Amino acid sequence: MSRPMTRPMSRLIMGPFNRVEGDLEVHLDIADGVVREARINAPLYRGFEQILQGRAPLDALTIAPRICGICSVSQSAAAAAALGGLAGVEVPPNGRLAADLVLACETIADHLTHFTLFFMPDVARAAYAGQPWHDHAVARFTAIKGAASAEFLAARAGFLHIMGTLAGKWPHSLALQPGGTTQPVDMGGKVRLLSILGAFRGYLESRVFGDTLERITALDSPAALAAWAAEAPPASSDFRFFMHVAEALGFDRLGRGGGRFLSHGGFFGGGVWDGALSFFNPAQVIEHLDHAWMSTPTRPDADKPGAYSWCKAPRLDGRVMEVGALARQVIDGHPLARALAADEGATVRSRVIGRLLETARLLPMMEDWARSLRPREPFCAEAPLPDTGTAAGLVEAARGALGHWMTVENGLIKSYQIVAPTTWNFSPRDDAGVAGAVEQALVGTPAEGETPVAVQHVIRSFDPCMACTVH
């Protein structure tokens, strides 16, 4: 690509990118200390879509989750949804509730893993030494050593006991089947689930939010959020501390995205947001290959001219979409998320708020689902598969829209295509040369030095899972 060279341009290659899941390399063109262009390289290819071809359709339940150790259940859920569509099966209420509990558990665990272990350690970096809030950031969020890390990992371990109760284990469970789930609970199991949820609510309310989940969920505007944050000192909760640091560092102006959101829906309403809500038509999803090292959607070509990533470039009717918790909350119509999208757009700040808001909304939903389980009633329906057919499994993973498209012929998988959330967000340029969501969001980001911390904030605000991206 040619461009007018009016100022000296320097090229910075950043990688390995820590505290993201998987392998990521970022190429930046920088002038006047600001990113002018960004290219995202996913430097790993594994060929899962090839491996799935020719297998028994139900094998997708074993293979697809193993794409990733952190989004495992969401891959199971998408595969089970595709197979369920193929079978035309109706899942009994218990099976739906149990599958939702398992997926919501992974979603919340991932959101807080991101917040506590991946995103916040950057504000504890030495680059911010001298800031009035830095001592607290160091004590609480220093990578590996921070107090929040230890507290969170203990709480997370307890929370994941939901997996042992409803899905055998995590990651890589086969409990999610097209007809429901395989681990019914009795009354004792139901009580244990409520106990686990109660313990985790305690962690969220005391450490993460410093308030009730219902109070957080009821915040309906950025002004209400700011007023809530000002009610107590920043160090009194992790969310308040984030709000304080976000203001100090201008996170509400950093990493602004294109403002188009996609959600497949599920726990929350789905659709497309472009300043207004519209329906999502899956037939409009096309994967562009011009800048990916792929000769066909499943065949790699490491020497392809013009390519710079193993990641393909999905587009919705030709448009770049941002996916994730913020997208879900905006599309669902939560007033705070809608107002943030209108006022500041998708930014480092609003993406992080989106995850925490979603966490506060989801846990009470999980409590309702657990209370609705009916021991001794069915969890799983028989789901015989037809020999031939096509189906899609469209779900929402923690990181956003996840789709599995499956074609079965003569009882075997003929083709299997996966479009993962991070494929949307971290895509390379499309066939029209239009940059992907993160590539766009990085433009204008301050980039001084060899590891510009603002660039890291922007990248991590998307919570990339590169492993899923490059299945």
Within positions 19 to 78, which residues make up the interface with another protein, using CB under 8 A?
19-21, 23-25, 41, 43-48, 50-51, 54-56, 58-59, 61-63, 66, 69-70
Q: Which of 125, 190, 201, 414 binds another protein (CB under 8 A)?
A: 125
Total interface residues for another protein by CB under 8 A? 86
Choice between 31 and 381, CB closer to another protein: 381
Choice between 135 and 214, CB closer to another protein: 135
Choice between 152 and 280, CB closer to another protein: 152
CA 319 to chain centre: 20
Choice between 102 and 340, CB closer to another protein: 102
Q: Least separation, in Å, of the C-beta of 327 and another protein?
A: 23
Give residue 26's identity as a one-letter amino acid code. Answer: V
Q: Which of residues 251-310 bind another protein (CB under 8 A)?
A: 300, 302, 310
Q: Which of residues 216-245 bind another protein (CB under 8 A)?
A: none
CA dist 405 and 135 (Å) reads 49
Choice between 76 and 350, CB closer to another protein: 76
Question: Which of 443, 417, 415, 418 shows the shortest CA–CA distance to 429?
Answer: 443
Q: Which of 9, 90, 129, 169 binds another protein (CB under 8 A)?
A: 169
Q: Which of 177, 309, 425, 461 binds another protein (CB under 8 A)?
A: 177
Look-up of token digits 């989940």: 213
Check the CA dihedral 301-306-312-314 and report its sign. Answer: negative
Q: Least separation, in Å, of the C-beta of 312 and another protein?
A: 15
Choice between 96 and 161, CB closer to another protein: 161
Q: Does 194 bind another protein (CB under 8 A)?
A: no
What burial class does residue 114 get, using C-beta atoms within 10 Å of its C-beta: 0-12 exposed, 13-18 middle, 19+ buried? buried
| Neighbouring residues of 94: CB distance < 8 A, sequence distance ≥ 6 | 180, 181, 184, 373, 374, 377, 378, 379
Q: Does 17 bind another protein (CB under 8 A)?
A: yes
Q: Least separation, in Å, of the C-beta of 412 and another protein?
A: 10
| Neighbouring residues of 153: CB distance < 8 A, sequence distance ≥ 6 | none
Choice between 58 and 286, CB closer to another protein: 58
Q: Does 456 bind another protein (CB under 8 A)?
A: yes
Q: Which stretch binds another protein (CB under 8 A): 217-225, 269-277, 329-337, 370-378?
A: 370-378
Interhelix angle 72-87/93-113, nearest 10 degrees: 150
Q: Which of 9, 129, 147, 154 binds another protein (CB under 8 A)?
A: 154
CA 21 to chain centre: 11
CA dist 234 and 221 (Å) reads 19
With residue 263 as reference, give the H or E element that holds it: strand 261-263
Q: Which of 15, 88, 282, 318 binds another protein (CB under 8 A)?
A: 15
Choice between 117 and 340, CB closer to another protein: 117
Q: Which of residues 302-361 bind another protein (CB under 8 A)?
A: 302, 310
CA dist 463 and 314 (Å) reads 18
CA dist 161 and 458 (Å) reads 32
Annotate each residue in 100-119 with x if it binds another protein (CB under 8 A) or - if it does not, as one string.
-------------x---xx-
Residue 11 corresponds to which tokens in the numbers above?
Answer: 């090229």
Q: Does 121 bind another protein (CB under 8 A)?
A: yes
User: Does residue 422 contact residue 292 with C-beta atoms inside 8 Å?
Assistant: no
Choice between 30 and 262, CB closer to another protein: 30
Q: Does 446 bind another protein (CB under 8 A)?
A: no
Look-up of token digits 């609480």: 140
Q: Least separation, in Å, of the C-beta of 91 and another protein?
A: 12
Q: Which of residues 376-395 bind another protein (CB under 8 A)?
A: 376, 378-380, 382
32: number of Cβ within 10 Å? 10
Q: Which stretch binds another protein (CB under 8 A): 311-319, 342-350, 375-383, 433-441?
A: 375-383
Q: Which of residues 126-145 bind another protein (CB under 8 A)?
A: 142-145
Cβ-count burial 272-310 (b if 16+ within 10 Å, e if not): bbeeebeebeeeebebbbbbbbbeeebebeeeeeebbbb
Choice between 265 and 300, CB closer to another protein: 300
Nearest 10 degrees: CA dihedral of 91, 94, 98, 100? 60
